[in-house]
Structure 1
Amino acid sequence: MTHPLRLPAFRLLFCARTSSALGDAVVPAALALAVLRATGSTGALALVLACAMVPRLLLLPLGGVVADRFDARRVAVVTDLVRCAAQLVVGVELLGAGPSLAHVAVASAIGGAASAFAIPTASPLVAGTVDADGRQRANALMSTTSNASRLAGPALAGLLIWAAGPGWAFVLDALSFAVSALLLSVIRVRHVPVPKRSILADLTYGWREVRARDWYWTSLVGHGVWNGAAAVLMTLGPAVAVDRLGGEAVWVLTLQGGAIGLLAGSLLAARVRPRRPVLVANLGLAMYAAPLLLLAVAAPAPAVIGAYCLALTALGFLNPVWETVVQGQFPPQVLARVSSYDWLLSLGAMPVGYAVAPVAAQAWGAAAPLTGAAVLVALACAGTAAVPGVRRLTWPATPAPQPATPVTAAG
């Protein structure tokens, strides 16, 4: 089997995504500090974050339709250029003497809208450049570089902010998208034409493909609950760590342990191929209940850090395995749409967790929502083992999968 990095098209794709991933990893810390420096208001920061998140959620299904209907490579190039321009606007604003919050918010909204069209292209791009027998390793490589960027991003952001200010972090991100667009523009990607239908018919067809596979939609429910629980932990975890576990350093070490776990899980996914991939991966996600429960009872810091590292290792393992299974089980002409529904449910669950966690903690204390989230994530992820499709699903056969619903030109 040829290593994916020996394939010219995938090698360029890998370099493109590495560039944009590193730029993206720098932005969160830079954005928070920049907005707080400019306004001194956490409300202003929340507004800017919402401006990026809301368009992304609203447009994700449409992004899946566009990526399936048109060449995913072309869509990715256009969205990279749009995001390059948006980040450059933010960078120039922050480099000026008096940055405008309105300009930053609008640029963030445009970038968020572009990302809704960019996210569904990820899976078709890998499937279109790597044959089935090399996709697990290819997906693991993509996940590894993404997780390594998350690990290095905050340190690089801190260095840039200390040396030149947060505006240059956004200029770097803009440059990373420009490099990504340039590399993607010369790649040749296999594309299966989609019959011409209305947008509503395309959305409905993609949803039927999702519903036709019990292993897929039940796993999406589990993954959505996981993301909601992660939002609860990220909201309440810092306060528990600071007040009861030893201070800010404990929370920093917890996050770094999680980043190391993500990277380790991605590396593991390149070498381990369980016979029942979705079942094993979903059971691994259920381990996220452990750090939630340990935070709820204010367990010793080493136990919390270790549990969080293991839980994120399971996530790092799931991501490339899940992508490989999905790429093999769904026909290529519907891949972006089903991926967009996956992202929609996952991203949509996080604001729910962010909203519920502080309200519940104020009413009953932090232990209650943390424990509740632990129970929900354990039941939702481990509960998929009761689904026949999850238990029976093995690695895809070599022949291309067929649509679960007939492909017609009519809506």
Structure 2
Amino acid sequence: MTPTQHPLRLRGFRLLFLGRSISTLGDAVVPAALAIAVTRATGSSGALALVLGCAMVPRLLLLPLGGVVGDRVDPRLVALVTDLVRAAAQLAVGLELLTDEPRLAPIAAASAVGGIASAFAMPTATPLVAATVAGPQRMRANALLASAANVARLGGPALAGLLVWTVGPGWAFLLDGASFLVSAALLTRLRVQHTPGERRSLRTDLLHGWSEVRSRDWYWTSLIGHGVWNGAAAVLLTLGPLVATRQLGGDGVWIAMTQAAACGVLAGSLLAGRYRPRRPVLVANLGLALYALPLAALAVAAPAPVTVAAYALAMTGLGFLNPVWQTVVQQEFPAQVLARVTSYDWLLSLAAAPLGYTLAPLAADAWGSTGPLLVTAVLVALACAGTAAAPGVRRIGRVAEAGSTASAEVTGGRPADREAPAGAVGRNPTIRS
């Protein structure tokens, strides 16, 4: 692949792009449909919390193990198997919801199975992009994936509403299950070269992955900032609707905020495909610090247009960070540890959100919403902007120029001859947020 060749001209990346885009659209339909379905079936918010917890807890517990498996085994095979498992889980939920009296236990069990599968699937995303696209074009590839995912998330709730009110919420889950089957079918045609690292004990592999994280100040300091951001996002999502409804003009303000946020994330991912800052991690983390703006706007009950605009700007920072972060991680870490370091990233990101969801209502009940929102705004600004103090954050250079130039082209049949993706073990970047 030449440095100017578009990633979608590579058959391997096209297969990956189509599969991920289709399954993301299916997933985007599920949250709204799940809330409506469980509420209809049980009339209890606690039942919905139980179903969500059944998916979240095993995902958190098993993510590090998923990272080890993703590095030991061909990540394409792991992604394919987990797509099939998640398809079965979603189809099972869909069929249960199509019955006259859906039962909570099978839905919760299927959610747990899906959560287990996602713990093994999530760490494979970064290695698969690194294996199908060469260094100079990974930023564009990651931006394309992020943009497609954000478009799916924009349209997903509307599609969910259409399905729920026409044929029932069960069909939303059947659609999601079918999307995973399509993704799995596309992955069967993808072949990537996988060079596993030295086989060691599970404990040694986990510790080795953690040592890779700990040895890079840009990575672990950024993960702290990203974790605080996720906790702050949980606070905003918990307290924001109440403030918007009671003080800013009603439910329509919150709806406008969520739509503006979705548009902001999409705009940020599109920007990441075109703008190449000299210090990508520094710029991206400073963009995350903008999340302090909507938190502060809600805290002081700023006018609705100001709050909506602040939220859109803050989420543009998130949309920009995600593809930039993934590209830098693919550039800076050896291919043999990508799944493990990604799993630690996801673990911190996912673990921080429940903390925000738990503490925000307790703090609001004790002191009102203004104090918790202002404190959270200060924390997220300090944590994300404070990463600039780490020398590695300031040192990481432009990804389009610093990445591997080795060809990573794969085909639908035999893998093309190529070098392994470059990564420097000694170099001192979610979720990603």
Runs of 5+ in structure 2 lacking a partner? 406-421, 428-433
- Indicate if the aligned counterparts of 1:279 and 1:384 stay in contact, CA closer than 8 A: yes
Corresponding residue for residue 138 of structure 1: 141
Partner in structure 1 of residue 6 of structure 2: 3
Measure how far apart 1:404 and its partner are: 4.0
What is the identity, as a one-letter code, of the residue corresponding to 1:398? S
1:173 to 173, 176, 180: 176
**Match among 62, 65, 78 for residue 62 of structure 1:** 65
Aligned-partner SS, 1:382: helix
Equivalent residue in structure 2 for 1:295, among 293, 298, 301: 298
Calculate the TM-score normalised by the size of structure 2: 0.93
Q: How far apart, in 2, do the equivalents of 1:217 and 1:65 lie?
A: 19
- Aligned partner of 1:403 in structure 2 is 425
Give the unaligned 5+ runs of structure 1: 406-411
Pair 1:49 & 2:52 matched:
yes
Task: Give the deviation of 1:140 after TM superposition.
Answer: 0.2
Query: Do the aligned partners of 2:134 and 2:404 also contact (CA within 8 Å) in 1?
Result: no
What is the DSSP-based 3-state SS (H/G/I as helix, E as strand, rest coil) of the residue aligned with 2:308? Answer: helix
Matching residue within 353, 363, 366 for 1:350 = 353
CA distance in 1, matches of 2:371, 2:40: 34
Aligned to 2:284: 281
8 Å contact from structure 1 (residues 209, 404) kept in 2: no
1:138-217 correspondence runs (5 A): 138-217=141-220
**Offset at residue 403 of structure 1 (A):** 2.6
How many Å separate the matches in 1 of 2:193 and 2:334?
13
Q: CA deviation at 1:190?
A: 2.5
Residue identity matched to 1:90: V
Q: Distance in 1 between matches of 2:262 and 2:233?
A: 14
Partner of 2:266: 263
2:348 equivalent to 1:326: no
After alignment, is 393-402 or 331-340 more displaced?
A: 393-402
Question: How much does 1:169 deviate?
Answer: 0.2
Distance, in Å, in 2 between the alignment partners of 1:376 and 1:307 is 17
Moved over 4 A (4+): none
Q: Supply the distance in 2 between the matched residues of 1:349 and 1:94 (Cα, whole angstroms).
A: 31
> What is the 5 A alignment of 1:350-389?
350-389=353-392
Deviation, 1:397, is 4.4
Aligned to 1:409: none
State the secondary structure of the residue aligned to 2:291.
helix
Q: Normalising by structure 1, report the TM-score.
A: 0.97
Partners of 2:199 and 2:332 lie apart in 1 by: 23
The amino acid across from 1:361 in the alignment is A
SS of aligned partner of 2:290: helix
Give the Cα–Cα distance (whole angstroms) in 1 for the partners of residues 368 and 339 of structure 2. Answer: 41
- Return the offset for 1:392: 1.2
Greater mean deviation of Cα atoms: 148-157 or 387-396? 387-396
- Structure 1 counterpart of 2:42, which letter? T
- AA of the residue aligned to 2:287: G
Between the two proteins, the alignment pairs up a number of residues equal to 405
Match of 1:18 in 2: 21
Indicate if the aligned counterparts of 2:136 and 2:403 stay in contact, CA closer than 8 A. Answer: no
Distance 1:93 1:144, change over 3 A: same
C-alpha separation between the residues in 2 aligned to 1:35 and 1:397? 46
